[in-house]
Amino acid sequence: MKFVITAGPTREPIDPIRYLSNRSSGKMGYAIAEAALESGHDVLLISGPVNLNPPPGAKMISTVTSDEMHDAVHDHLHDCDVLVMCAAVADYKPANVSVQKLKKHQARLSLKLIRTRDILASVAKPDRPFLVVGFAAETTNLEEYAQKKLREKNCDLIVANNVLTGIDSDENEVTIFSRTGEQQKISRAPKKSIARELVKPFSNSCEKRLTKKM
Ligand code: CTP
């Protein structure tokens, strides 16, 4: 199967030297890429700026902004069976990017932010992969918010994790929710083990859809 996996943060520029971003390390997405390769799948990893070495055998596209990640995902959807949107895409970006460095003339500065495009929600026919997997990064009401994202972003599966304990860490604890109502909890473990546990249901669900289509 062909996996397209996004990982890491995006950076939304404010001026030539400043940006808005988040604490995503990319470890979960890179671990999923490695686990998918170990299971014999083809992997394209679309990654924001992280301090990690790409897993040997993965094709790589490096992106910086949410717009670049959006375009890279859409350029490769026609050749993808499983899309895993693990990246922590910024929700807002500055409305205007200053060409020159902003100087500190004022005592207070307000930045006007606008919404970024939602990459996951933008995945639609005719290029929709057989399996679309979203991630839900939550700090409260994990199940309720994850189920809401699953429906609103039209995912087949959503992997929910508590970012208070998971975001920068080498470990994670996740629950997979499916569109058909099943749930599977994966207890706290190193991200590499969690990734192996995730690739199994991803490939099984994709396999089921592929056979249904034949
Ligand atoms: N996502 C995306 N494009 C965005 C924002 C999020 O594709 N502009 C994807 C993420 O990669 C993830 C899923 O949507 O697979 C959920 O992301 P998350 O940050 O948990 O939620 P948001 O949609 O950003 O909502 P909120 O910040 O309100 O929780």
Single-letter amino acid code for the residue at 165: T
CA 124 to chain CA mean position, Å: 17
Residue 208 amino acid letter: K
Task: Give me the chain's average pLDDT, please.
Answer: 95
Whether a cis peptide bond, with omega within 30° of 0, leads into 126 is yes
Query: Any catalytic annotation for residue 51?
Result: no
The reported pTM is 0.97
Q: How far is CA 188 from CA 66, 172, 193, in A?
A: 30, 5, 9
Closest CA to 51 of 75, 69, 86, 26: 26
Nearest to residue 45, comparing CAs of 12, 87, 91, 1?
A: 87
Choose one of 45, 91, 116, 117 to mutate for the ligand 1 pocket test, by most ligand atoms within 8 angstroms of C-beta. Answer: 91
Tell whether the model's pLDDT for residue 62 goes beyond 80: yes
CA 177, 180, 184, 185 dihedral sign is: positive
- The answer, yes or no, to whether any atom of ligand 1 lies below 6 A from the CB of 5, is no
More confident residue, 165 or 143: 143
pLDDT digits (tens, 9 = 90+) for 154-178: 999 999 998 888 677 899 999 999 9
Residue that the structure tokens 């999923």 belong to: 32
Q: What's the pLDDT score for residue 164?
A: 83
